[in-house]
Structure 1
């Protein structure tokens, strides 16, 4: 009996010991798990701090939202609060032709894009604003769209977009060429299909960029699908003088951006870290670190569903607007804004703001182009404020009146111009710093060439560089091109083949020149 009690006691003691051991084991496991979680949290915190520290190196600007709001119409504000625009975030994207780190202003925006994000579906649409589009620059002066960034940096450029397009943009991202090069290299390159013409121009551009950035030049040797590095892909974005001109160039830019977005959404953590390393010193933005982290961490949730450009292809034409050179004319701005709001926000029968109607009327007046009852682009538009010279198909049309801006004269023919050396001829050319148009100081008119001080090149439509001495002689005798009736001129899309700017203008008998009684300056001669 005693033995039985002792056995029971011993069994109970063992059971108690086992329970205590099991409890101690569970406690150790719990403590170990807690320690592991704490270590993971500490590592994650360190990683976040590491990334935040990197992102803090991004150049930031505290744009005055109040200033931007002043230039957003009341109609647009109401639409964003309770209308079709509600639930969308619109961000301006600028690509600038500077490689010196000066991303703020004093440089033309080579790329102007609007990224419109549907906050519910995470779908993104990209819209290029063609840089030569004739618009209100956000300060009630009119010129090419890329002039706005050069004059007043991102604030004025955003005002330009909001005022002309009835948008409510308050944030932007600016990237220089070097930033794009480094991002694409960090992603391992992208695949692009090239034509023979694009291969030649791509190599021309990347030769110049390789020298400027101190990078290796690797020639692309054939057309077809090619895997491009950062320098090659960025050079591809800059190609302008092929079929399609600037419209095709902006299409290339959107294509590259889509490829970069696609690659980034599939990138590993190490690749994303490399991207952050590459661009922190080459981005200028109004977005906060938390906002950037939000977009980056959710990049796989977003998708680019469509891209396009404005003015749209069937509502635009080309015109030379005085000294501002060859511009893309929205015909009309009102019609393009109606189209844009349906494209971005699904808003049918949108009614543009009173300000857009005012700007649209001014652009029609300056260019001489409008839409007929069937929606076709036609010339011959007239109003009491018709102001400038328009050009289509190489034919110049001069309305009877000019604005004070165009008639104001100066004793200095080089006033407002900047000079650079044509690398092909060694000659000095003079150009408008806001538009890039090479100007003949003797006449105050564009020669047809474009100066690109960022690359140090002078380019003619149809060629990658100038092949003649473009230095104007301010004392030389000049002739005036023939003029035809704008009502009979046929509007053409600027993407069509352009007239050789080097061709001699037809001679005009000076004795036929008659002064315009409504103008403060002598009008060009006309021929029948």
Structure 2
């Protein structure tokens, strides 16, 4: 065999290998460019949606204080409001919780405030009333001020979600799974005939709304309802923050833009994601305790002073 033929025989595999390397590099480059372009597009869409549609400041919270805490990775208290608005109605806060983030402990707490809690509404003209009426008197601003006065805490941010938006968000992330404490058939608000089995169940958007709305078939009444609300919030946070939800960001942004308001701007949200992402490792929930009473024929949930102090300590920075 001649030297030329020997060289051709050994050079062909090398040429084929080089061609495959070039193909792999080209595909990798194309994938990188496509991913980068998608990420840039999502980034810009998210920034536009948050800053132009979702962000709304309130007089009772100084946004600069919260931004400073995020940059220093300090504890944060965030008021979560589930708002039920009907035509020709200013609406009420159907669900009210304080989300406490503790990055130094990699922990978070969700504290539910019963909507019938009898409190002194912030301001001189309102007196004592149900805490969920604060929203009807003055929107988010009045709700924030009333919760701060009630628990003697500082709220750094608020997040207000139209209750229909909760249904849309659950659908946008592909549903959630919760551990249902009791079995029942829906015969209440939605009357869809849903069967809620005891134990772990998967919920889509409409079924989630039936799950958090039901009260009268639960022997714990509103306390059972707030427990289910906390379950849903935790499940949405876990599912929304998972890697599997990355491809659903566009749908999630649409829901947020149409149904949510918050004084968190895009930079604050980025800071939360980067500096507080480990708080989900230890999630706790708590229901403010008290007892029902009637005053002048109206039902209220009366919270003892010692319980108010306990919750204050729970949500305070040094606890």
Pairing 1:321-400 to 2, within 5 Å after superposition? 321-323=295-297, 325-332=298-305, 335-345=306-316
Q: CA RMSD in A?
A: 3.2
Partner of 1:148 in structure 2? 134
SS in 1 for 2:188: helix
Q: 2:121 aligns with which of 137, 140, 163?
A: 137
Using the alignment, how far apart are the partners of 1:299 and 1:271 within structure 2?
22
Q: 1:298 to 1:263 in 2, by over 3 A?
A: farther
Using the alignment, how far apart are the partners of 1:145 and 1:309 within structure 2?
15
Q: Shift in Å at residue 174 of structure 1?
A: 0.7
Q: TM-score, normalised by structure 2?
A: 0.76
Using the alignment, how far apart are the partners of 1:317 and 1:57 within structure 2?
43
Is 2:296 the partner of 1:319?
no
Q: 1:168 aligns with which of 154, 171, 179?
A: 154
8 Å Cα contact 2:85/2:162 also seen in 1: yes
Q: 1:57 to 1:236 in 2, by over 3 A?
A: farther
Is 2:219 the partner of 1:243?
yes
Q: 1:159 aligns with which of 116, 128, 145?
A: 145
Q: Shift in Å at residue 165 of structure 1?
A: 0.7
Q: Which moved more, 1:298-307 or 1:225-234?
A: 298-307
Q: 1:114 aligns with which of 91, 98, 114?
A: 98
Partner of 1:97 in structure 2? 84
8 Å Cα contact 1:203/1:220 also seen in 2: no
SS in 2 for 1:307: strand
Partner of 2:239 in structure 1? 263
Is 2:167 the partner of 1:181?
yes
8 Å Cα contact 1:148/1:157 also seen in 2: yes
Using the alignment, how far apart are the partners of 2:39 and 2:45 within structure 1?
10
8 Å Cα contact 1:95/1:111 also seen in 2: yes
Q: TM-score, normalised by structure 1?
A: 0.48
SS in 2 for 1:206: coil
Partner of 2:230 in structure 1? 254
Partner of 1:469 in structure 2? none
Gaps of 5+ in 1: 1-32, 70-76, 208-216, 349-528
Gaps of 5+ in 2: 1-27
Q: Which moved more, 1:37-46 or 1:266-275?
A: 37-46
Using the alignment, how far apart are the partners of 1:273 and 1:297 within structure 2?
20
Is 2:286 the partner of 1:308?
yes
Pairing 1:478-489 to 2, within 5 Å after superposition? none
Partner of 1:285 in structure 2? 262
Using the alignment, how far apart are the partners of 1:143 and 1:119 within structure 2?
35
8 Å Cα contact 2:55/2:263 also seen in 1: yes
Q: Shift in Å at residue 44 of structure 1?
A: 4.1
CA deviation profile, 1:414-464 (whole Å, cap 9, x unmatched): xxxxxxxxxxxxxxxxxxxxxxxxxxxxxxxxxxxxxxxxxxxxxxxxxxx
Using the alignment, how far apart are the partners of 1:240 and 1:91 within structure 2?
26
CA deviation profile, 1:272-325 (whole Å, cap 9, x unmatched): 332222222110222212223443567743315211122x3xxx22211225x1
8 Å Cα contact 2:120/2:146 also seen in 1: yes
For CA contacts below 8 A with separation 6 or more, give which structure has more relative contact order: 2
CA deviation profile, 1:378-428 (whole Å, cap 9, x unmatched): xxxxxxxxxxxxxxxxxxxxxxxxxxxxxxxxxxxxxxxxxxxxxxxxxxx
Partner of 2:107 in structure 1? 123
SS in 1 for 2:184: helix
Equivalent pairs counted in the alignment come to 279
Partner of 1:233 in structure 2? 208
8 Å Cα contact 1:57/1:281 also seen in 2: no
